[in-house]
Structure formats: structure tokens, C-alpha cells
Amino acid sequence: MKSIVTAELREHLHRRFADFIRSRKMRLTPERMAILDKALDLHVHFEIDELYKAIESEYRVCRSTVYNTVELLCECNIFHKHFLHENQAAYELYDDRHFHLICLNCGSVKEVRDENYSALFDKLKFPRFKASFVSTNVYGVCARCARKMRKTNNEEERGEIKGSGEQLTGRDSEKKHQIP
């Protein structure tokens, strides 16, 4: 998949991460920068295992290095962590205010950007608390799964039985299910 990150943004994020690492008096290693690059190349929401699999063929790093580096990337506000599916963490570029539509059936995640949502966030004030970001997840059933569910319900209403290879209607269906 082609990265949605421009060369200018990538360069800016490299400088930002390098400055952050140096401010922490940590070593700026090629592996850390490679983890940042691979994370930028992945799709919008990625998990640590996906990132680890993408990087392990080029660099000799352990899963904990990937995890710790992603946590550093979150601390310096390049990525942030979401819990889109139960306790499974997903990471995404810390870009703008949006919310997620999450299908309870297939697990798909769709990002939605809305000016009203952004405006609402701007108006929120919390005493003695400075919000960094808001994570909003809306759970339901996506259009594709809803169509599949309607089709399945229609088939059941017409008396079609999946896997039997035959359709039973009216009296035939009653005869088939009679106890001898």
C-alpha cells in the first residue's frame, strides 16, 4: 500500500522524533528511525504485530523494541493509541480530530471527519485538565454487513435452507419436518 504521508511531513516527523529522543538523552538508532518509517507506511490503523512483521525482514529487532519505540512515538505525539476492538491496541498518526465507525459484525473501522465534531471539541473546557485528544468510537453494523444480514433474513423468510442444496416451500417444508 502506498504511503499517504508526504515527503515533507515525513522529514518533519523525523526531525521531531530525533529532537524528542535527544531531549530524553537516548540514542537515536537506525532501528528507531526505521520503525517510524515503517509505521508511516502502514495503513491508517496498525497493530504492533503488523509493524513488527513489516520491519523484521530488514532489521534485527525484537518485538519489545518495536513496542517501546511506538510508545515513544506516542509520547512525542506522532502517533496515538486507540482501543478500537476490546483490549486490542491500534495506532494511528496523530493528525486531526475524527471519530471511528466500528462494525460489530466484521470489525471494519471507518474514519469520519466532521467540522461539527471538531467545533465541539474546541468548545469543551475541563477545569484543571488540558485535553490532548479525544477518542470517539461509534459501534454498530456497517452497510455491507447490513446488506448481508437482510439477504440472509430474506432467504430464511422464503424458506431457503443454506447448505441443503434444495429449497423447501409451503407443504413440502411441512412434510420434510414432520415426525414419523
**Tens of pLDDT, residues 83-131:** 766 777 888 887 667 778 888 888 888 878 777 777 777 777 788 887 7
Fold matches, 1-94 and 96-160: no
For the stretch 5-57, pLDDT in tens is 889 999 999 999 999 999 999 999 999 999 999 999 986 788 999 999 999 98
In single-letter form, the type of residue at position 95 comes to D
Domain ranges in the chain are 1-94, 96-160
Q: Is the pTM of this model over 0.85?
A: no
pLDDT band at residue 137 under the 50/70/90 scheme: confident
> Residue 115 has which C-alpha cell?
467540522
Q: Is the model's pLDDT at 142 over the cut of 50?
A: yes
Through-space distance between the first and last CA atoms of the chain, rounded to whole angstroms: 60
What is the C-alpha separation between 57 and 75, in angstroms, rounded? Answer: 26
For 68, other C-beta atoms within 10 Å of its C-beta total 13
For 111, other C-beta atoms within 10 Å of its C-beta total 13
**Is the domain defined by 1-94 classed in CATH 1.10.10.10?**
yes
Which sign does the torsion angle of CA 96, 98, 104, 109 carry?
Answer: negative
* φ and ψ of 48, to 5 deg: -55, -45
- What CATH number was assigned to the domain covering residues 96-160? 3.30.1490.190
What is the C-alpha separation between 78 and 95, in angstroms, rounded? Answer: 8
